[in-house]
Amino acid sequence: MSEAEVLFEVRDGLGLITLNRPRAINALNHSMSLAITEKLRAWAVDPAIRTVAIVGAGERGLCAGGDIVAIHRDAKAINDGGPDAPAPLDTAAAAFWRDEYLLNDLIGSYPKPYVAVMDGIVMGGGVGVSAHGSHRIVTERSQIGMPECGIGFVPDVGGTYLLSHTPGELGTHVALTTARMGAGDAIVAGFADTFVPSADLPALLDALRTTPADEAIAQFATPAPESELNAQRDWIDTCYAGDTVEQIVEAMRAADSPEATKAAEDLLAKSPIALKATLRALRNARDLTLAGALNTEFRITVAALSTHDLAEGIRAQVIDKDRTPHWSPAALADVTDAQVDAYFAPLGEHELGLPVS
């Protein structure tokens, strides 16, 4: 493959985007986001392009998320303090998020069919460049999720919008436990539309060159696997109906369900403050458009840079890989309303500023 981190190719009426960092499972960085935005804007007004599609290079997945190692550098510099510590809004991370969220919004309102091939691993930022598209394809290899609470962060890239609009409380469960969704789960949850066997993807991409997207996809669509999450809706909807994370955990422990017990264990391993900020963001996003949710997420992500838990979570999961983060506050009961409020503080002239009409 070329050394370029994102490839663009025109195949008859198809504009094909290939994320090309296979060793990093095509993790998205700032320059890739800018390049994709520029090309999508050009293709939107190019009469020769009928359909756009996005795929990932290699066999492991479309995109494992954003470049969180770079984000860790900024978060650590802020947390370490000192006269040279940057202000959150002056960091490379904040600049990346701003442009990434503008890209997510562009995909969500794109005027032409946007076919996202969500094969393999699709996490975090990978969801942002796929699940807002008009045609979202999953395969038997798809593993889709929002793992942010596990690194002391909050779902972003429009994730709070998607997660808050799932049937019942499926999205709350996925967000707070960082559970992965298979193909059937993703379709039920509204993250994807159509199941296509992975062996048929090359033929599908070939068909998209000359055939309208709906017709081409219909040629290869097959019934999706049953959703394991949907089969657990009874306890999920009951337990996650609580207004606080503490109420949710209490309901899980009281439920007569081994799945609920396991979910409580998974949830309690995550950052307490990230859990509380995530729950509030999800509840608020139920009444927002995608653009409105992205505006709020930009406030949240900028604020997260100053928290202990984002730097510590990335350290434990990605840098040192000891998988033993030391959260602060360490327990749900120790998180104050004021600490959660800080995630949602207005940014004045620095707001993302997407129109929400």
Q: How far is CA 307 from the centre of its chain?
A: 20
- Annotated catalytic, 168? no
Peptide bond into 329 cis (omega under 30): yes
Task: Report the alpha-carbon angle 320-308-128, nearest 5.
Answer: 75
Residue-wise over 59-89: b if at least 16 C-beta within 10 A, else e?
ebbbbbbbbbebbbbbbbbbbeeeeeeeebe
Secondary structure of residue 322 in the 3-state scheme: coil
- Of 156, 169, 193, 309, the active-site residue reads 156
- Of 15, 56, 65, 66, the active-site residue reads 66
Show the beta-strand stretches assigned E in 45-190.
51-56, 61-63, 114-118, 121-123, 135-138, 143-145
Q: Which two tokens stand for residue 318?
A: 């990605």
- Annotated catalytic, 140? no
- Distance in angstroms (rounded) separating the CA atoms of residues 119 and 59: 9
- Distance in angstroms (rounded) separating the CA atoms of residues 287 and 189: 17
- Annotated catalytic, 287? no
- Of 15, 125, 150, 292, the active-site residue reads 125
- Annotated catalytic, 156? yes
- Distance in angstroms (rounded) separating the CA atoms of residues 219 and 149: 38
Q: Which residues are catalytic?
A: 66, 125, 148, 156
